[in-house]
Amino acid sequence: MHESVLDAVGATPLIRLRRVAEGLAPRIYVKAEWQNAGGSVKDRAALWMVRAAERSGALRPGGVIVEGTSGNTGIGLALVGGVLGYRTVIVVPDTTAAEKIAALRAYGAEVRLTPGGIPGDDPRHVINLAARVAAEIPGGWLADQYGNPANPRAHRDTTAPEIWEQTAGAVTCLVAGIGTGGTLSGTGAALKEKGPVRVVGVDPENSAYGGGDGSPYYVEAIGHYRHPDTVTDTWPENWDRTVADEVVRVDDRTTMLTARRLAREEGLLLGGSSATAVAGALRVSRDLGPDDVVVVIAPDSGRAYLSKYFDDGWLRRLGFLTEPGPDAPAPLVD
Ligand code: PMP
Protein backbone atom coordinates (compact mmCIF):
# COMPACT_ATOMS: atom_id res chain seq x y z
CA MET A 1 0.00 0.00 0.00
CA HIS A 2 1.40 3.42 -0.97
CA GLU A 3 0.49 6.67 0.79
CA SER A 4 1.40 8.68 -2.29
CA VAL A 5 1.93 7.99 -5.97
CA LEU A 6 5.52 9.12 -5.41
CA ASP A 7 6.05 5.91 -3.44
CA ALA A 8 5.11 4.06 -6.63
CA VAL A 9 8.37 5.19 -8.25
CA GLY A 10 11.00 2.44 -8.18
CA ALA A 11 10.86 -1.14 -6.85
CA THR A 12 10.22 -2.49 -10.36
CA PRO A 13 10.43 -6.25 -10.98
CA LEU A 14 12.99 -8.21 -12.98
CA ILE A 15 11.41 -10.39 -15.66
CA ARG A 16 13.35 -13.22 -17.28
CA LEU A 17 13.53 -13.47 -21.06
CA ARG A 18 12.76 -16.96 -22.31
CA ARG A 19 12.06 -17.53 -25.99
CA VAL A 20 14.22 -14.72 -27.39
CA ALA A 21 17.09 -15.95 -25.19
CA GLU A 22 16.90 -19.58 -26.33
CA GLY A 23 20.33 -21.07 -26.99
CA LEU A 24 22.13 -18.48 -24.86
CA ALA A 25 23.91 -19.61 -21.68
CA PRO A 26 23.26 -16.78 -19.19
CA ARG A 27 20.00 -15.88 -17.49
CA ILE A 28 18.78 -12.58 -18.93
CA TYR A 29 16.30 -10.36 -17.12
CA VAL A 30 14.67 -7.07 -18.06
CA LYS A 31 14.17 -4.45 -15.34
CA ALA A 32 10.56 -3.43 -15.86
CA GLU A 33 10.93 0.34 -15.68
CA TRP A 34 7.64 0.92 -17.51
CA GLN A 35 5.98 -0.05 -14.22
CA ASN A 36 7.02 3.21 -12.58
CA ALA A 37 4.09 5.51 -11.68
CA GLY A 38 4.53 7.78 -14.71
CA GLY A 39 5.39 4.91 -17.02
CA SER A 40 9.15 5.17 -17.39
CA VAL A 41 12.60 5.00 -15.84
CA LYS A 42 12.69 8.81 -15.87
CA ASP A 43 10.28 9.02 -12.93
CA ARG A 44 13.22 8.07 -10.73
CA ALA A 45 15.41 10.92 -11.99
CA ALA A 46 12.52 13.40 -11.94
CA LEU A 47 11.69 12.66 -8.31
CA TRP A 48 15.34 12.75 -7.23
CA MET A 49 16.05 16.02 -9.06
CA VAL A 50 13.00 17.74 -7.53
CA ARG A 51 13.76 16.45 -4.03
CA ALA A 52 17.41 17.57 -4.29
CA ALA A 53 16.34 21.02 -5.51
CA GLU A 54 13.95 21.35 -2.58
CA ARG A 55 16.72 20.41 -0.17
CA SER A 56 19.20 22.87 -1.69
CA GLY A 57 16.63 25.65 -1.85
CA ALA A 58 16.88 25.94 -5.64
CA LEU A 59 13.17 25.06 -5.79
CA ARG A 60 11.02 26.78 -3.20
CA PRO A 61 7.28 26.72 -2.46
CA GLY A 62 5.54 28.53 -5.31
CA GLY A 63 8.48 27.76 -7.60
CA VAL A 64 8.26 26.59 -11.19
CA ILE A 65 9.84 23.40 -12.56
CA VAL A 66 11.25 23.94 -16.07
CA GLU A 67 12.81 21.39 -18.45
CA GLY A 68 13.48 20.96 -22.13
CA THR A 69 12.53 17.45 -23.24
CA SER A 70 10.43 15.62 -25.78
CA GLY A 71 9.95 12.62 -23.62
CA ASN A 72 9.57 10.79 -20.40
CA THR A 73 11.46 13.24 -18.17
CA GLY A 74 8.74 15.80 -18.83
CA ILE A 75 6.04 13.33 -17.80
CA GLY A 76 7.96 12.47 -14.63
CA LEU A 77 8.48 16.12 -13.72
CA ALA A 78 4.86 17.03 -14.48
CA LEU A 79 3.67 14.15 -12.32
CA VAL A 80 5.94 15.05 -9.41
CA GLY A 81 5.25 18.76 -9.82
CA GLY A 82 1.49 18.22 -9.79
CA VAL A 83 1.58 16.07 -6.67
CA LEU A 84 3.90 18.45 -4.79
CA GLY A 85 2.11 21.61 -5.95
CA TYR A 86 4.59 23.15 -8.37
CA ARG A 87 3.83 24.68 -11.76
CA THR A 88 5.68 22.75 -14.47
CA VAL A 89 6.74 24.25 -17.81
CA ILE A 90 8.10 21.85 -20.43
CA VAL A 91 9.77 23.10 -23.62
CA VAL A 92 9.16 20.60 -26.40
CA PRO A 93 10.37 20.36 -30.03
CA ASP A 94 7.48 20.72 -32.48
CA THR A 95 8.52 17.39 -34.05
CA THR A 96 7.28 15.58 -30.93
CA ALA A 97 4.37 13.14 -31.32
CA ALA A 98 1.01 14.77 -30.53
CA GLU A 99 0.23 12.03 -28.00
CA LYS A 100 3.28 12.93 -25.95
CA ILE A 101 2.37 16.62 -25.88
CA ALA A 102 -1.19 15.65 -24.90
CA ALA A 103 0.15 13.46 -22.09
CA LEU A 104 2.25 16.33 -20.72
CA ARG A 105 -0.79 18.60 -20.74
CA ALA A 106 -2.91 15.87 -19.15
CA TYR A 107 -0.51 15.81 -16.20
CA GLY A 108 -0.91 19.58 -15.93
CA ALA A 109 2.31 20.75 -17.55
CA GLU A 110 2.40 23.98 -19.56
CA VAL A 111 3.94 23.14 -22.93
CA ARG A 112 6.06 25.61 -24.94
CA LEU A 113 6.85 24.50 -28.48
CA THR A 114 10.12 25.25 -30.29
CA PRO A 115 11.38 24.11 -33.71
CA GLY A 116 12.77 20.56 -33.79
CA GLY A 117 15.69 19.39 -35.92
CA ILE A 118 17.89 22.45 -35.33
CA PRO A 119 21.54 22.52 -34.21
CA GLY A 120 22.29 21.96 -30.52
CA ASP A 121 23.98 25.36 -30.31
CA ASP A 122 21.01 27.29 -31.77
CA PRO A 123 19.42 29.49 -29.06
CA ARG A 124 15.99 28.12 -30.03
CA HIS A 125 17.15 24.54 -29.42
CA VAL A 126 14.93 22.92 -26.80
CA ILE A 127 17.67 22.74 -24.17
CA ASN A 128 18.86 26.32 -24.68
CA LEU A 129 15.33 27.71 -24.73
CA ALA A 130 14.44 25.84 -21.53
CA ALA A 131 17.43 27.43 -19.79
CA ARG A 132 16.25 30.86 -20.88
CA VAL A 133 12.65 30.22 -19.79
CA ALA A 134 13.86 29.04 -16.38
CA ALA A 135 15.95 32.17 -15.94
CA GLU A 136 13.10 34.47 -16.97
CA ILE A 137 10.23 32.97 -14.93
CA PRO A 138 10.24 34.15 -11.29
CA GLY A 139 10.99 31.14 -9.09
CA GLY A 140 11.98 29.13 -12.15
CA TRP A 141 14.22 26.11 -11.61
CA LEU A 142 15.78 24.22 -14.52
CA ALA A 143 15.83 20.49 -13.85
CA ASP A 144 18.73 20.00 -16.34
CA GLN A 145 18.64 16.22 -16.63
CA TYR A 146 21.84 16.22 -18.72
CA GLY A 147 23.95 17.88 -16.04
CA ASN A 148 22.05 17.44 -12.79
CA PRO A 149 23.93 14.95 -10.54
CA ALA A 150 20.63 13.96 -8.89
CA ASN A 151 19.76 12.12 -12.13
CA PRO A 152 22.52 9.46 -11.87
CA ARG A 153 22.19 9.66 -8.09
CA ALA A 154 18.60 8.34 -8.35
CA HIS A 155 19.98 5.21 -10.02
CA ARG A 156 22.82 4.89 -7.50
CA ASP A 157 20.33 5.12 -4.65
CA THR A 158 17.50 3.01 -6.06
CA THR A 159 18.02 1.13 -9.36
CA ALA A 160 21.39 -0.38 -8.46
CA PRO A 161 20.48 -1.59 -4.94
CA GLU A 162 17.23 -3.04 -6.28
CA ILE A 163 19.12 -5.05 -8.92
CA TRP A 164 21.69 -6.21 -6.39
CA GLU A 165 19.03 -7.40 -3.96
CA GLN A 166 16.75 -8.92 -6.59
CA THR A 167 19.59 -11.04 -7.97
CA ALA A 168 21.02 -11.73 -4.48
CA GLY A 169 24.32 -10.29 -5.70
CA ALA A 170 24.47 -12.66 -8.68
CA VAL A 171 24.27 -9.98 -11.39
CA THR A 172 27.39 -10.05 -13.59
CA CYS A 173 26.38 -7.81 -16.46
CA LEU A 174 24.31 -4.61 -16.74
CA VAL A 175 23.04 -3.47 -20.13
CA ALA A 176 21.36 -0.11 -20.82
CA GLY A 177 20.88 2.49 -23.51
CA ILE A 178 22.29 5.99 -23.13
CA GLY A 179 20.18 9.15 -23.33
CA THR A 180 21.46 11.56 -20.71
CA GLY A 181 23.62 8.71 -19.48
CA GLY A 182 22.09 8.94 -16.01
CA THR A 183 20.76 5.39 -15.89
CA LEU A 184 23.93 3.71 -17.11
CA SER A 185 26.38 5.94 -15.21
CA GLY A 186 24.52 5.80 -11.89
CA THR A 187 23.43 2.17 -11.92
CA GLY A 188 26.68 0.93 -13.44
CA ALA A 189 28.98 2.79 -11.05
CA ALA A 190 27.07 1.64 -7.98
CA LEU A 191 26.92 -2.01 -9.11
CA LYS A 192 30.66 -2.01 -9.82
CA GLU A 193 31.28 -0.91 -6.24
CA LYS A 194 29.36 -3.97 -5.04
CA GLY A 195 30.97 -6.62 -7.24
CA PRO A 196 32.61 -7.42 -10.57
CA VAL A 197 29.84 -6.31 -12.90
CA ARG A 198 30.46 -5.74 -16.60
CA VAL A 199 28.68 -2.59 -17.74
CA VAL A 200 27.55 -2.44 -21.37
CA GLY A 201 26.10 0.66 -23.01
CA VAL A 202 23.95 0.13 -26.08
CA ASP A 203 23.71 2.77 -28.75
CA PRO A 204 21.84 3.21 -32.05
CA GLU A 205 24.30 2.53 -34.86
CA ASN A 206 24.42 6.11 -36.17
CA SER A 207 24.59 7.71 -32.72
CA ALA A 208 27.82 9.33 -31.61
CA TYR A 209 28.12 7.69 -28.17
CA GLY A 210 29.20 4.38 -29.67
CA GLY A 211 31.34 5.85 -32.42
CA GLY A 212 28.69 6.59 -35.07
CA ASP A 213 28.75 9.85 -37.04
CA GLY A 214 25.72 11.27 -35.21
CA SER A 215 23.47 11.11 -38.29
CA PRO A 216 19.72 10.55 -37.77
CA TYR A 217 18.21 7.28 -36.60
CA TYR A 218 14.71 6.09 -35.85
CA VAL A 219 14.79 4.77 -32.30
CA GLU A 220 13.68 7.49 -29.88
CA ALA A 221 15.01 8.66 -26.51
CA ILE A 222 18.56 7.29 -26.65
CA GLY A 223 21.76 8.09 -28.48
CA HIS A 224 23.49 11.29 -29.45
CA TYR A 225 22.30 12.93 -32.66
CA ARG A 226 24.54 15.59 -34.16
CA HIS A 227 22.93 18.12 -36.51
CA PRO A 228 25.23 18.73 -39.52
CA ASP A 229 25.34 22.50 -38.77
CA THR A 230 26.34 22.03 -35.15
CA VAL A 231 29.54 23.94 -34.40
CA THR A 232 30.18 22.94 -30.83
CA ASP A 233 29.01 19.57 -29.58
CA THR A 234 29.52 18.37 -26.04
CA TRP A 235 28.79 15.13 -24.19
CA PRO A 236 26.23 15.36 -21.39
CA GLU A 237 27.91 15.67 -18.01
CA ASN A 238 25.81 12.75 -16.80
CA TRP A 239 27.39 10.43 -19.38
CA ASP A 240 30.36 9.19 -17.36
CA ARG A 241 32.51 7.44 -19.94
CA THR A 242 34.61 5.71 -17.30
CA VAL A 243 31.68 3.50 -16.22
CA ALA A 244 30.81 1.52 -19.36
CA ASP A 245 33.27 -1.24 -20.23
CA GLU A 246 32.05 -1.14 -23.80
CA VAL A 247 29.38 0.40 -26.00
CA VAL A 248 27.62 -1.98 -28.38
CA ARG A 249 26.02 -0.56 -31.54
CA VAL A 250 22.61 -1.78 -32.71
CA ASP A 251 21.07 -0.77 -36.05
CA ASP A 252 17.46 0.40 -36.30
CA ARG A 253 16.31 -2.69 -38.18
CA THR A 254 17.53 -4.97 -35.40
CA THR A 255 15.80 -2.73 -32.84
CA MET A 256 12.46 -2.86 -34.69
CA LEU A 257 12.57 -6.62 -35.20
CA THR A 258 13.56 -7.16 -31.57
CA ALA A 259 10.65 -4.99 -30.41
CA ARG A 260 8.25 -7.18 -32.42
CA ARG A 261 9.74 -10.39 -31.04
CA LEU A 262 9.59 -9.13 -27.45
CA ALA A 263 5.88 -8.39 -27.87
CA ARG A 264 5.03 -11.61 -29.71
CA GLU A 265 7.29 -14.13 -27.98
CA GLU A 266 7.73 -12.69 -24.49
CA GLY A 267 4.45 -10.81 -24.04
CA LEU A 268 6.50 -7.67 -23.44
CA LEU A 269 5.27 -4.63 -25.38
CA LEU A 270 8.29 -2.36 -24.89
CA GLY A 271 9.59 0.90 -26.32
CA GLY A 272 12.32 1.13 -28.90
CA SER A 273 15.09 1.93 -26.43
CA SER A 274 14.22 -1.26 -24.52
CA ALA A 275 14.42 -3.24 -27.75
CA THR A 276 17.80 -1.71 -28.59
CA ALA A 277 19.09 -2.62 -25.13
CA VAL A 278 17.73 -6.18 -25.33
CA ALA A 279 19.28 -6.64 -28.78
CA GLY A 280 22.63 -5.51 -27.34
CA ALA A 281 22.21 -7.84 -24.35
CA LEU A 282 21.47 -10.82 -26.59
CA ARG A 283 24.63 -10.05 -28.54
CA VAL A 284 26.96 -9.79 -25.53
CA SER A 285 25.34 -12.88 -23.99
CA ARG A 286 26.78 -15.03 -26.78
CA ASP A 287 30.16 -14.66 -25.05
CA LEU A 288 28.87 -15.28 -21.52
CA GLY A 289 28.47 -18.49 -19.52
CA PRO A 290 25.74 -20.25 -17.51
CA ASP A 291 26.80 -18.53 -14.28
CA ASP A 292 26.24 -15.11 -15.77
CA VAL A 293 23.18 -13.06 -14.89
CA VAL A 294 22.44 -10.22 -17.28
CA VAL A 295 20.13 -7.35 -16.33
CA VAL A 296 18.80 -5.12 -19.10
CA ILE A 297 17.12 -1.82 -18.32
CA ALA A 298 13.78 -1.58 -20.16
CA PRO A 299 12.91 2.13 -19.84
CA ASP A 300 9.32 2.33 -21.09
CA SER A 301 6.34 0.56 -22.64
CA GLY A 302 5.58 0.17 -26.32
CA ARG A 303 2.13 1.76 -25.94
CA ALA A 304 3.45 5.19 -26.91
CA TYR A 305 4.94 3.81 -30.12
CA LEU A 306 2.12 1.65 -31.49
CA SER A 307 1.88 3.76 -34.65
CA LYS A 308 5.62 3.35 -35.29
CA TYR A 309 7.58 0.30 -34.21
CA PHE A 310 4.50 -1.92 -34.02
CA ASP A 311 2.82 -0.72 -37.22
CA ASP A 312 3.60 -2.95 -40.18
CA GLY A 313 2.87 -0.12 -42.65
CA TRP A 314 5.39 2.17 -40.93
CA LEU A 315 7.98 -0.59 -40.77
CA ARG A 316 7.45 -1.51 -44.40
CA ARG A 317 7.66 2.11 -45.62
CA LEU A 318 11.05 2.37 -43.95
CA GLY A 319 12.22 -0.95 -45.31
CA PHE A 320 12.55 -2.59 -41.93
CA LEU A 321 10.34 -5.45 -43.11
CA THR A 322 11.09 -5.29 -46.84
CA GLU A 323 12.62 -2.57 -49.04
CA PRO A 324 12.36 1.20 -48.21
CA GLY A 325 9.24 2.79 -49.75
CA PRO A 326 9.11 6.15 -51.55
CA ASP A 327 6.99 7.69 -48.77
CA ALA A 328 9.31 6.69 -45.93
CA PRO A 329 9.10 9.25 -43.08
CA ALA A 330 12.31 11.04 -42.11
CA PRO A 331 14.22 9.91 -39.03
CA LEU A 332 13.65 11.72 -35.78
CA VAL A 333 16.01 14.66 -35.37
CA ASP A 334 15.15 16.72 -32.31
N1 PMP B 1 14.80 5.16 -22.93
C2 PMP B 1 13.79 6.02 -22.81
C3 PMP B 1 12.44 5.60 -23.31
C4 PMP B 1 13.98 7.28 -22.23
O5 PMP B 1 12.97 8.14 -22.13
C6 PMP B 1 15.28 7.64 -21.81
C7 PMP B 1 15.54 9.02 -21.28
N8 PMP B 1 15.82 9.93 -22.35
C9 PMP B 1 16.32 6.71 -21.95
C10 PMP B 1 16.04 5.47 -22.51
C11 PMP B 1 17.74 7.01 -21.54
O12 PMP B 1 17.89 7.14 -20.16
P13 PMP B 1 19.03 8.08 -19.56
O14 PMP B 1 18.62 9.50 -19.84
O15 PMP B 1 19.04 7.78 -18.12
O16 PMP B 1 20.31 7.75 -20.23
Could you tell me if the CB of 271 is within 6 A of ligand 1? yes
pLDDT band at 227 (very low <50, low <70, confident <90, very high): confident
Q: How far are the Cα atoms of 292, 316, 317, 329 from residue 326, in angstroms, in the given order?
A: 45, 11, 7, 9
Instruction: With beta carbons less than 8 A apart as the criterion, state whether 130 and 91 touch.
Output: yes
Could you tell me if the CB of 221 is within 6 A of ligand 1? yes
Up-side HSE of residue 258: CA atoms within 13 Å toward CB?
24
How far, in Å, from the CA of 110 to the mean position of ligand 1? 22
Model confidence at 277: pLDDT above 80:
yes
- The pTM assigned to this predicted structure is 0.95
What is the chain's mean pLDDT, rounded?
A: 94
Model confidence at 293: pLDDT above 70:
yes
Give phi and psi for 6, each to the nearest 5: -65, -25
How far, in Å, from the CA of 326 to the mean position of ligand 1? 31
Model confidence at 279: pLDDT above 60:
yes
Q: Which atom of ligand 1 is nearest to the CA of 155?
A: 15
- The proportion of the chain whose per-residue pLDDT surpasses 70, expressed as a percent, equals 96
Give the C-alpha separation, 143 to 46, whole Å: 8
Give phi and psi for 213, each to the nearest 5: -85, 0
Q: Distance of alpha carbon 252 from its chain centroid, rounded? A: 16
How far, in Å, from the CA of 319 to the mean position of ligand 1? 26
Please state whether beta strands 140-142 and 110-114 pair in parallel, antiparallel, or not at all (unpaired): unpaired
| 34, 35, 36, 72, best to mutate for ligand 1 pocket (most atoms within 8 Å of CB) | 72
Sheet containing 27-32, strands listed edge to edge, beginning at the edge strand earlier in sequence? 14-16, 27-32, 293-298, 173-177, 198-204, 246-250
Question: What average pLDDT does the segment 156-171 reach?
Answer: 98
pLDDT for position 321: 86
Model confidence at 97: pLDDT above 90:
no
pLDDT band at 24 (very low <50, low <70, confident <90, very high): very high
- Where helices occur in the chain by DSSP H, the ranges are 42-56, 72-84, 98-106, 126-136, 150-154, 160-166, 182-194, 252-266, 272-285, 312-317
Model confidence at 329: pLDDT above 80:
no
DSSP 8-state assignment for residue 159: I
Q: Which of 90-104, 161-175, 308-322 has the highest mean pLDDT?
A: 161-175
pLDDT band at 325 (very low <50, low <70, confident <90, very high): low
Could you tell me if the CB of 71 is within 6 A of ligand 1? yes
pLDDT digits (tens, 9 = 90+) for 32-85: 999 999 999 999 999 999 999 999 999 999 999 999 997 899 999 999 999 999
Q: Distance of alpha carbon 132 from its chain centroid, rounded? A: 24
pLDDT band at 234 (very low <50, low <70, confident <90, very high): confident
Give phi and psi for 142, each to the nearest 5: -85, 120
pLDDT digits (tens, 9 = 90+) for 245-262: 999 999 999 999 999 999
pLDDT for position 326: 64
pLDDT for position 62: 97
pLDDT band at 117 (very low <50, low <70, confident <90, very high): confident
pLDDT for position 324: 60
Q: Which atom of ligand 1 is nearest to the CA of 45?
A: 15
Could you tell me if the CB of 272 is within 6 A of ligand 1? no
- Residues assigned a catalytic role: 42
pLDDT digits (tens, 9 = 90+) for 296-324: 999 999 999 999 999 999 999 998 987 66
Could you tell me if the CB of 183 is within 6 A of ligand 1? yes
pLDDT for position 154: 98
Q: How far are the Cα atoms of 16, 126, 159, 295 from residue 27, in angstroms, in the given order?
A: 7, 40, 19, 9
pLDDT band at 120 (very low <50, low <70, confident <90, very high): confident
Model confidence at 139: pLDDT above 80:
yes
Give the C-alpha separation, 14 to 24, whole Å: 18
